[in-house]
Amino acid sequence: MTIPQRVPRRIAVVGGGIAGLAAAQRLVECASGDHLRLFEAGPRLGGVIETVHEQGFQVEASSDNFITTLPYGLELCRRLGLADQLVQTDPRYRQTYVVHRGRLHKLPEGFLMMAPTRLWPLALTPLLSPWGKFRAAMEYFLPPRRDEADESMAAFATRRLGRETFDRLVEPLVGAIYAGDVDRLSVKASLSRFRDMEREHGSLIRAMRRQMAARRRSHRKETQSGARYSLFVTLRGGLGTLVDAIAASLPAGCARLDAPVERIDRVEGGAWRVHAGGTEETFDALILAAPSHVAGQLLAPIDAELGQLLGRIDHTGTAIVSLGFDRSQIAHPMAGAGAVVGRIERSPILAVSFSSQKYPHRAPEGKTLLRIFAGGANAPEVAQMEDDRLAAVILAELRPLLGISGEPVYRRTARWPRIMPQYYVGHQELVGRIEDRVAGLPGLALAGNAYHGVGIPDCIHGGQRAAQRVLDESR
């Protein structure tokens, strides 16, 4: 029997963020005979992921860890030989604080994003009034909504837990993660597991309590076998190590830096001609892993409706200011991973991560590294302030919260304009329509944080799926 041979193909990946890199890595792993080209607009690979080492601090410019409940980040690290460099969060500092009326309070223990797993900590928290607590506890008895219609995170959380719990606990947590307007963000696109809990168990509290009991049982088994990671992990050398490891696994010369793709044509026979930096090359298949608004502009001349649909995915921007201090300059014990700030506080800060508490290797002995997230959908003007003013505004906010004296010994600002895709109500339907249009263009796949999740593991998975789609088409 003769085995059918695959004809080697020319494949282009546009965008060298983690999604594009994961796609390229999968292509090399599965189809080493193919000719691969990766176009990246900027001078380095990694997109928003970048680790900087300065004055003994290890500073992440954007993402600083990834979740382990999805397997894709961990698996990729293992395949690249990075498993022994994975670092877990310090178990002493997994608590989150919430800023309320200008003071830090611990988030009630067991409160996970949209639902409590334990009722006592909720009953005792100073973050809620007696009425707010009563209303949240009523969630247990409220009838579930069982239809499939999407709704905003605000509508969902308020409906289940009441306005006060939404304003003081849910919105600060969710707003910090998505840097978005929770009145518009879709619960089905980003936090569908909570809608599923409501549907399947009738109540979030009931679902959480059952899940926690099941988790405790499996945790006991895993602890016995020594298999468990903390909820979030990072890499000892920073997440830039992951970017470097993928880059090293690609064929020499396949990545073109400073090569923004300016135009794409569909040529006879269904091939793709890519114009970048004054050159043009033709490919059999194309993976677009640039931000969706860029993909939309590039595809509009080929399919106007697809371009228009992609352009409907809105993006917000944030700034991250990393500040280093002598530990003695901060009076607060900072016994946690960081603090989130709800929009009702009207603060320029979305969240502050106690970066070197979570991961002690990030600051030299005796020093502390804080990372402050500013801007987002509710205060876009903050992310645009020039560096000195931004730092001054942030410090004025942080000093009374953390008891900071003196000036930071280290400062670095990273800006991410128009980078965080916003999954508004109806997002899944919009992505479904985009994917239907893409299905009509053989040899094309999309990847990136705009479609099926913004976290690093989601983006890795999206890149790998795009690679698989292109490979499957060639069989």
Ligand X SMILES: Cc1cc2nc3c(=O)[nH]c(=O)nc-3n(C[C@H](O)[C@H](O)[C@H](O)COP(=O)(O)OP(=O)(O)OC[C@H]3O[C@@H](n4cnc5c(N)ncnc54)[C@H](O)[C@@H]3O)c2cc1C
> How far apart are the C-alpha atoms of 200 and 378, rounded to whole Å?
33
- From the CA atom positions of the chain, what is the Rg in Å? 23
464 binds ligand X (CB under 6 A): no
Name the residue nearer to ligand X (CB basis): 127 or 377.
Answer: 377
456 binds ligand X (CB under 6 A): yes
CB of 447 to ligand X, least distance (A): 7
Q: What is the dihedral of CA 127, 330, 319, 166, to 10 degrees?
A: 0
The backbone torsions φ and ψ at residue 465, rounded to the nearest 5 degrees and listed phi first, read -65, -40
> How far apart are the C-alpha atoms of 299 and 14, rounded to whole Å?
12
The DSSP code sequence of 316-345 is EEEEEEEEEEEGGGB-S---SSEEEE-GGG
CB of 244 to ligand X, least distance (A): 15
Dihedral over Cα of 28, 245, 370, 15: its sign = negative
47 binds ligand X (CB under 6 A): yes
Pick the binder of ligand X from 17, 296, 307, 443 (CB under 6 A).
17
CB of 463 to ligand X, least distance (A): 7
Measure CA 83 to chain center. Answer: 21
> How far apart are the C-alpha atoms of 368 and 312, rounded to whole Å?
41
Name the residue nearer to ligand X (CB basis): 105 or 266.
Answer: 266
89 binds ligand X (CB under 6 A): no
Name the residue nearer to ligand X (CB basis): 46 or 132.
Answer: 46
> How far apart are the C-alpha atoms of 351 and 409, rounded to whole Å?
21
Contact 124, 153 (CB under 8 A): no
CB of 414 to ligand X, least distance (A): 7
CB of 63 to ligand X, least distance (A): 3
**Pairing verdict, β 338-341 and 315-326:** unpaired
CB of 419 to ligand X, least distance (A): 5
> How far apart are the C-alpha atoms of 459 and 466, rounded to whole Å?
11
180 binds ligand X (CB under 6 A): no
The HSE-up count of residue 82 (CA atoms within 13 Å, CB side) is: 24
Contact 104, 98 (CB under 8 A): yes
202 binds ligand X (CB under 6 A): no
CB of 9 to ligand X, least distance (A): 20
398's CB contacts (< 8 A; 6+ apart) are: 349, 352, 370, 372, 404
CB of 295 to ligand X, least distance (A): 9
Q: Find the binding residues for ligand X in span 366-395 (CB under 6 A).
A: none
Q: Find the binding residues for ligand X in span 268-327 (CB under 6 A).
A: 289-291, 294, 318, 320
Element (H, E) at 267: strand 261-267
CB of 348 to ligand X, least distance (A): 15
Name the residue nearer to ligand X (CB basis): 19 or 207.
Answer: 19
Pick the binder of ligand X from 9, 15, 31, 158 (CB under 6 A).
15
Distances (CA, A) of 244 to 46, 51, 77, 78, 349: 8, 11, 12, 14, 31
Contact 458, 452 (CB under 8 A): yes
Name the residue nearer to ligand X (CB basis): 318 or 368.
Answer: 318
Of the candidate spans 168-176, 265-273, 354-362, 448-456, the one that interacts with ligand X by CB under 6 A turns out to be 448-456
416 binds ligand X (CB under 6 A): yes
Of the candidate spans 75-83, 330-338, 383-391, 451-459, the one that interacts with ligand X by CB under 6 A turns out to be 451-459
Number of residues that bind ligand X (CB under 6 A): 36
Name the residue nearer to ligand X (CB basis): 47 or 108.
Answer: 47
Element (H, E) at 431: helix 427-439
Pick the binder of ligand X from 13, 16, 167, 272 (CB under 6 A).
16
48 binds ligand X (CB under 6 A): yes
Name the residue nearer to ligand X (CB basis): 187 or 420.
Answer: 420
Name the residue nearer to ligand X (CB basis): 99 or 179.
Answer: 179
Tally Cβ neighbours within 10 Å of residue 267. Answer: 11
Q: Find the binding residues for ligand X in span 227-266 (CB under 6 A).
A: 260-261
363 binds ligand X (CB under 6 A): no
Q: Give me the residues that bind ligand X (CB under 6 A), please.
A: 14-20, 39-42, 47-49, 62-66, 260-261, 289-291, 294, 318, 320, 416, 419-420, 448-449, 454-456, 459
